[in-house]
Chain A
Amino acid sequence: AQTVTQSQPEMSVQEAETVTLSCTYDTSENNYYLFWYKQPPSRQMILVIRQEAYKQQNATENRFSVNFQKAAKSFSLKISDSQLGDTAMYFCAFMQDFGNEKLTFGTGTRLTIIP
Chain B
Amino acid sequence: DSGVTQTPKHLITATGQRVTLRCSPRSGDLSVYWYQQSLDQGLQFLIQYYNGEERAKGNILERFSAQQFPDLHSELNLSSLELGDSALYFCASSVGQGVRNEQFFGPGTRLTVL
B48 proximal to A (CB < 8 A): yes
Q: Is the interface of B mostly helix, strand, loop or mixed?
A: strand
Q: Is the interface of A mostly helix, strand, loop or mixed?
A: loop
Given A43-B107, A45-B105, A102-B56: A95 in contact with B42 (beta carbons within 8 A): no
CB-CB under 8 A from A103, the residues of chain B are 33, 35, 43, 45, 103
Indicate which residue in A50, A100, A105 contacts B42 across the interface (CB closer than 8 Å): A105
27 A-B pairs within 8 Å (CB atoms) are namely A42-B107, A43-B88, A43-B107, A43-B108, A44-B108, A45-B90, A45-B105, A46-B105, A47-B102, A50-B102, A96-B99, A98-B98, A99-B97, A101-B33, A101-B56, A101-B94, A101-B99, A102-B45, A102-B56, A103-B33, A103-B45, A103-B103, A104-B45, A105-B43, A106-B42, A107-B42, A108-B42
